[in-house]
Amino acid sequence: MKPSFLLKSLAAASIVAVGALASSAAWAVKVGPVEDPIRVVKIPKGAPIVIATYHVISGADTALGLDTQRGAVVAADDLGNTLVGHPIKFMHEDDGCNAEGGQTAATKIAANQQVVAALGGACSSATRPAAPILWKAGIPDVATAASSPVLTAPDRGPSYDGLVRIVYNDLWAGREVANWAYKVRGYKKAATIHDGSPYAEKLVRVFQENFKKLGGEVVSDEAVAPNDTDMRPVLTKIATAKPDFIYAPTFVGVTSYLIRQKKEIPGLEKVALVGSDASMGAQLMEASGKDLLGFEISTTAMEPEAQGPGYKAMREKYKKLFGEYPIQGFHGNGYDAMMLVANAIKKVAVTEKDGTTYIPIKALRDAMFATKNMQGVTGKITCDQYGDCGVYNFAIYQYTNPDPKTLEPGKNPKRIYPEKF
Amino acid sequence: MNLERLKQVTYVDVTLWLMRAIIILLVIAGTIGTVIKDRYTTEQWVSMVMFGLTIGGIYALIALGYTMVYGILRLINFAHGDIFMTGAFTAYFVAAPLAKSGFLDEYLIVGMIIISLVAMTVCSCIALIVERICYRPFRSVRSLAPLICAIGASFFLQHAFRGMYGSSVRAYPDVKFFDTVVSIMGFNFPRIQFVVVIAALAAMYTLYLIVNKTKMGTAMRAVSEDRDAAALMGIDVNKVIIFTFILGGSMAGIGGVLYAFVFKQVYFFMGFFPGIKAFSAAVLGGIGNVPGAMLGGFFLGVVESLGPALFLDGLGIVAPYQLRDLIAFTMLVMVLIFRPQGILGERLARQRA
Closest partner residue to A233 (CB to CB) among B48, B263, B273 is B48
Instruction: For residue B180, give how far its alpha carbon lies from the nearest alpha carbon of chain A (Å).
Output: 10
Cα distance between residue A254 and residue B202, in whole Å: 31
Banded pLDDT at A58 (limits 50, 70, 90): confident
What is residue B76's predicted lDDT score, i.e. its pLDDT? 87
List of chain A residues whose C-beta atoms are within 8 Å of the C-beta of residue B324:
224-225, 228, 233
Share of chain B above pLDDT 90, in %: 38
Most confident of A334-338, B199-203, B317-321: A334-338
* Cβ neighbours of residue A280 closer than 8 Å, sequence gap 6 or more: A297, A299, A329, A409, A413
CB-based contact B294:B285 (threshold 8 Å): yes
Residue window 210-239, chain A: list those with CB within 8 Å of chain B: 221-225, 227-230, 232-234, 236-237, 239
On the question of pLDDT at B93 being above 60, the answer is: yes
Q: What value does the mean pLDDT take over residues B153-157?
A: 93
Of the ranges A31-40, B57-66, B156-165, B167-176, which one carries the lowest mean pLDDT score?
Answer: B167-176
CB contact under 8 A, A227 and B273: yes
CB-based contact B178:B190 (threshold 8 Å): yes
On the question of pLDDT at B146 being above 70, the answer is: yes
Cα distance between residue B245 and residue B228, in whole Å: 19
* Nearest partner of B119 among B135, B138, B98, judged by Cα: B98
Q: Exposed (0-12), middle (13-18) or buried (19+): which is B159, by Cβ within 10 Å?
A: middle
B325 interface with A at CB cutoff 8 Å: yes
- Mean of the per-residue pLDDT values of chain A: 88
Residue-wise pLDDT for A205-228, tens only, equals 999 999 999 999 999 999 998 888
Instruction: For residue A148, give how far its alpha carbon lies from the nearest alpha carbon of chain B (Å).
Output: 22
* Nearest partner of A140 among A347, A335, A340, A336, judged by Cα: A340
**For testing contact with chain B, the best of A57, A230, A240, A252 (most B CBs within 10 A):** A230
Cα distance between residue B119 and residue B71, in whole Å: 24
Quote ipTM for the complex.
Answer: 0.82
CB-based contact B196:B261 (threshold 8 Å): yes
The verdict on whether omega for the bond into residue A121 sits within 30 degrees of 0, i.e. cis, is yes
**For testing contact with chain B, the best of A258, A264, A268 (most B CBs within 10 A):** A264
Closest residue on chain B to A256 (Cα): B265
CB contact under 8 A, B51 and A233: yes
What is residue A3's predicted lDDT score, i.e. its pLDDT? 52
Cα distance between residue B149 and residue B313, in whole Å: 42
What is residue A227's predicted lDDT score, i.e. its pLDDT? 80
Distance between start and end Cα atoms, chain A: 85
The verdict on whether omega for the bond into residue A418 sits within 30 degrees of 0, i.e. cis, is yes
Residue A28 per-residue DSSP state: P
Query: Cα B235 from chain centroid?
Result: 29
CB-based contact A348:A362 (threshold 8 Å): no
SS3 A381: strand
Q: How many CB atoms lie within 10 A of CB A151?
A: 24
On the question of pLDDT at B86 being above 90, the answer is: yes
Cα distance between residue B265 and residue A119, in whole Å: 35
Instruction: For residue B344, give how far its alpha carbon lies from the nearest alpha carbon of chain A (Å).
Output: 27
List of chain A residues whose C-beta atoms are within 8 Å of the C-beta of residue B56:
none
Q: How many CB atoms lie within 10 A of CB B334?
A: 14
Name the residue with higher pLDDT: A302 or B163.
B163
CB-based contact A304:A331 (threshold 8 Å): no
Closest partner residue to B318 (CB to CB) among A196, A221, A225 is A221
| Residue A41: strand pairing partners | A359
Instruction: For residue A173, give how far its alpha carbon lies from the nearest alpha carbon of chain B (Å).
Output: 23
Banded pLDDT at A22 (limits 50, 70, 90): very low
Q: What value does the mean pLDDT take over residues A21-34?
A: 68
Instruction: For residue A266, give how far its alpha carbon lies from the nearest alpha carbon of chain B (Å).
Output: 9
SS3 B198: helix
* Nearest partner of A134 among A95, A167, A97, A85, judged by Cα: A95
B309 interface with A at CB cutoff 8 Å: yes
One-letter identity of residue A93: E
On the question of pLDDT at A76 being above 60, the answer is: yes
Name the residue with higher pLDDT: A102 or A10.
A102
What is residue A107's predicted lDDT score, i.e. its pLDDT? 96
| Domain B50-297, CATH among 1.10.287, 1.25.40, 1.10.3470, 1.10.10 | 1.10.3470
List of chain A residues whose C-beta atoms are within 8 Å of the C-beta of residue B39:
237, 240
CB-based contact B150:B164 (threshold 8 Å): no
CB-based contact B327:B339 (threshold 8 Å): no
What is residue A1's predicted lDDT score, i.e. its pLDDT? 46
Instruction: For residue A327, give how far its alpha carbon lies from the nearest alpha carbon of chain B (Å).
Output: 15
Cα distance between residue B94 and residue A299, in whole Å: 37
List of chain A residues whose C-beta atoms are within 8 Å of the C-beta of residue B174:
289-290
Q: How many CB pairs under 8 A join A and B?
A: 86
On the question of pLDDT at B71 being above 50, the answer is: yes
CB-based contact A414:A397 (threshold 8 Å): yes
CB contact under 8 A, B44 and A289: no
What is residue A13's predicted lDDT score, i.e. its pLDDT? 58
Closest residue on chain B to A230 (Cα): B263
What is residue B346's predicted lDDT score, i.e. its pLDDT? 66
C-alpha count within 13 angstroms, C-beta hemisphere, residue B109? 1
Give backbone dihedrals phi and psi of A25, rounded to 5 degrees, phi first: -60, -35
Give backbone dihedrals phi and psi of A272, rounded to 5 degrees, phi first: -75, 145
Cα distance between residue B285 and residue B86, in whole Å: 26
Q: To 5 degrees, how large is the angle CA A76–CA A82–CA A83?
A: 95
Q: How many CB atoms lie within 10 A of CB A418?
A: 14
Cα distance between residue A143 and residue A41, in whole Å: 21
List of domains in chain A: 41-167+330-381 (3.40.50.2300), 171-303+394-417 (3.40.50.2300)
Residue window 74-133, chain A: list those with CB within 8 Å of chain B: none
List of chain B residues whose C-beta atoms are within 8 Å of the C-beta of residue A260:
263-264
Banded pLDDT at A14 (limits 50, 70, 90): low
Residue-wise pLDDT for A97-107, tens only, equals 888 999 999 99
What is residue B124's predicted lDDT score, i.e. its pLDDT? 95
CB-based contact A118:A51 (threshold 8 Å): yes
Closest partner residue to B319 (CB to CB) among A222, A230, A257 is A222
- In sign, the C-alpha dihedral spanning A215, A220, A221, A227 is negative
Residue-wise pLDDT for B39-68, tens only, equals 888 888 898 999 999 999 999 999 999 999
What is residue A410's predicted lDDT score, i.e. its pLDDT? 79
Closest residue on chain B to A291 (Cα): B174
Instruction: For residue B2, give how far its alpha carbon lies from the nearest alpha carbon of chain A (Å).
Output: 49
* Nearest partner of B60 among B226, B280, B348, B257, judged by Cα: B280
Closest residue on chain B to A261 (Cα): B263
The beta-strand segments (E) located in A32-183 are 34-36, 40-43, 49-55, 82-83, 86-94, 115-120, 141-143, 163-165
On the question of pLDDT at A314 being above 70, the answer is: yes
What is residue B349's predicted lDDT score, i.e. its pLDDT? 44
Q: To 5 degrees, how large is the angle CA A183–CA A189–CA A194?
A: 100
Distance between start and end Cα atoms, chain B: 32
| Residue A142: strand pairing partners | A119, A164
* Nearest partner of A306 among A372, A408, A395, judged by Cα: A395
On the question of pLDDT at B350 being above 80, the answer is: no
Residue window 292-351, chain A: list those with CB within 8 Å of chain B: none
* Nearest partner of A89 among A120, A47, A54, A137, judged by Cα: A47
Cα distance between residue A346 and residue A366, in whole Å: 13
One-letter identity of residue B11: Y
CB contact under 8 A, A228 and B308: no
What is residue A87's predicted lDDT score, i.e. its pLDDT? 96
Q: What value does the mean pLDDT take over residues A140-160?
A: 92
* Nearest partner of B292 among B60, B55, B56, B84, judged by Cα: B60
Of the ranges A23-27, A297-301, A365-369, which one carries the lowest mean pLDDT score?
Answer: A23-27
Q: What value does the mean pLDDT take over residues B236-262?
A: 93
One-letter identity of residue A288: S
Cα distance between residue B272 and residue B56, in whole Å: 16
Q: What value does the mean pLDDT take over residues A238-249?
A: 93
Closest residue on chain A to B303 (Cα): A233
What is residue B60's predicted lDDT score, i.e. its pLDDT? 93
Most confident of A264-268, A415-419, B48-52, B74-78: B48-52
Cα distance between residue A386 and residue A380, in whole Å: 18
**For testing contact with chain B, the best of A234, A290, A292, A407 (most B CBs within 10 A):** A234
CB contact under 8 A, A233 and B321: yes
Cα distance between residue B166 and residue B159, in whole Å: 9
CB contact under 8 A, B264 and A289: yes
Banded pLDDT at A21 (limits 50, 70, 90): very low
Closest partner residue to B324 (CB to CB) among A60, A228, A264 is A228
CB contact under 8 A, A225 and B325: yes
* Nearest partner of A412 among A262, A292, A238, judged by Cα: A292
Residue window 213-272, chain B: list those with CB within 8 Å of chain A: 263-265
Banded pLDDT at A24 (limits 50, 70, 90): very low
**For testing contact with chain A, the best of B259, B322, B325 (most A CBs within 10 A):** B322
